[in-house]
Chain A
Amino acid sequence: MSSDAIICRCEDVLLSDIRRLLDSGLTTFDEVKKFSRCGMGPCQGRTCRSLVLAEIARHRGIRVQDLEPGRFRPPGKSIPISAFLEGGEEQ
């Protein structure tokens, strides 16, 4: 993949941005996410997570399946604020 390939379309993160962060010592998906915003956009990392994990694995010389996949934050699929205006009282 060319280093100006876009890894995260939601947040405009390039492969070269990811590589620069890994070169500076970051080692996990969660760190890459927090310091590049990769995976923080509307799709919540659906496309970029596997690409970033593959890049981390390559950088660290280990297998993807041996990496922490990174945290998944709810609600997973985005929901409008208006969906929470009725109900929700304690049972």
Chain B
Amino acid sequence: MTRADVIIVGGGIMGCSIAYHLARRGMRRVVVLERSHIASGATGRCGAGVRMQWGTKPNCLVMKESIRILEGLEQELSYPHGIGFKQKGYLFLAHSKAQLIQFQKNVQLQNSLGIPSEIVSPKDMKRIAPLLDTTGVVGGSYCSKDGHCDPFHTTRAYALAATRLGATLLQYTELQSVTKSAEGTFKLTTSAGEIEAPVLVNAAGAWSGYVASMLGVNLPVYSERHQILVTEQVERVLDPMIISLHEGLYCQQTPDGSFIMGLGDPNEPKGLDQGHSWQFLFAVSKKISRLLPDITGVRILRQWSGLYNMSPDRQAVLGAVDDVPGLYVACGFSGHGFMMAPAVSESMADIILGNTPRVAIDVYGLDRFKNGNLFYEPAVV
């Protein structure tokens, strides 16, 4: 039996970044288990947008810090390839007066926290995104510091930095079962043998509920498929990420020129299906052709899907699992975990080590489901 000081289940952006911060804080035997390769889960399938425009104070503060970290992350992690961080802004479209009032509230909150977002008129929006058809759009909100980052290379940058600091990354190694001994040690059976540690971090994304259930813990999360597509590369014509909460649609042009767009489907059943459908191609094409009519000649190259791990208030679930000492969880990201990771992984590492984190994340704790302190995030696609 191999022994570790901490075992992290899941080699997505969360697992790899938590491993890095634990190793950097001097934890010796940090092991990450990943049943496929790093970023093979939601992380490598995501839209990889990062934004500070949120509707609740904790999310604003976390994302503001994440973006600050991303600005210097290539240097911090010594990753010469680069992580492709580009700040071309996020433009939210309001299709009704009521939605614009919600955006005004959000922007007021964001500004009070030092986030440089603003309410924009349809005319401003044409200036920011000339290709946008603003028919039926009454206004919007915009933040030029929001942007996009390469999810594969950001994850790999964390993973390589963690291994340089002594962490062990076990890819193609699946956690199959886990028990807790009377002395409080987690004993894991994996596809590559047994391993034990006094601390276990569940960063298994869409599968976190299943991993928790191995220890008899019932997490209030579920998973849900989200479909997405990428087009061929064309000349750069669109700077910001365009988001319509009304249509459930987001679309951006990445630095290499391809458009990435996705759609939330309110009728999507709960589950772990990662398939794709032709209905999605029709639905997203029709919606995008109304907002960006000039790009309908662009060719779709690939479609795929990934899983959101959802919580009841669409807020992350972070921290210790009180009923099982030594067990920690980072899941329930509800479609925005990529951008939470840079800030939240650091706080998770500090909580695991008993330090006070720089960015407080206690509001995301599991206890909110016991004492009813849910805090619903309005700005989710």
Contact = CB atoms under 8 A, between A and B. Distances in A.
B153 interface: yes
Contacts of B44: 34
B303 A81 contact: no
Interface in B138-152: 152
Contacts of A27: 37, 172
B296 interface: yes
Nearest to A72: B302
B295 A44 contact: no
Interface SS of chain A: loop
B279 interface: yes
Interface in A66-80: 73-75, 78-80
A3 B310 CA distance: 46
Contacts of B296: 80-82, 85
Given A73-B302, A73-B304, A75-B303, A82 B279 contact: no
A87 B297 CA distance: 17
A74 B153 contact: no
Contacts of B281: 75, 79, 84, 88
A85 B301 contact: no
Contacts of A44: 301-302
A30 interface: yes
Given A31-B37, A88-B281, A80 B298 contact: yes
Interface stretch (B113-121, B282-290, B333-341): B282-290
B80 to A, nearest CB: 11
B279 A79 contact: no
A79 B288 CA distance: 15
Contacts of A35: 152-153, 156
A34 B152 contact: yes
B301 A78 contact: yes
A73 B304 CA distance: 7
A79 B300 contact: yes
B299 interface: yes
B232 interface: yes
Contacts of B37: 26-28, 30-31
A62 to B, nearest CB: 15
A90 B278 CA distance: 11
Contacts of A79: 281, 299-300
A34 B304 CA distance: 14
A74 B46 CA distance: 17
Interface in B287-320: 288-289, 295-304
B322 to A, nearest CB: 37
A84 B302 contact: no
Contacts of A87: 282
Interface in B209-259: 231-233
Given A26-B37, A42-B301, A74-B303, 9 more contacts: A35-B156, A75-B302, A75-B303, A78-B300, A80-B296, A81-B231, A85-B289, A88-B281, A90-B279
Interface of B: 37, 39-40, 44, 152-153, 156, 172, 231-233, 276, 278-279, 281-286, 288-289, 295-304
29 contacts: A27-B37, A27-B172, A30-B37, A31-B37, A34-B44, A35-B156, A40-B301, A41-B232, A44-B301, A73-B304, A78-B232, A79-B281, A79-B299, A79-B300, A80-B297, A80-B298, A81-B231, A81-B296, A81-B299, A82-B289, A82-B297, A84-B286, A84-B300, A85-B285, A85-B286, A85-B296, A88-B278, A88-B279, A90-B279
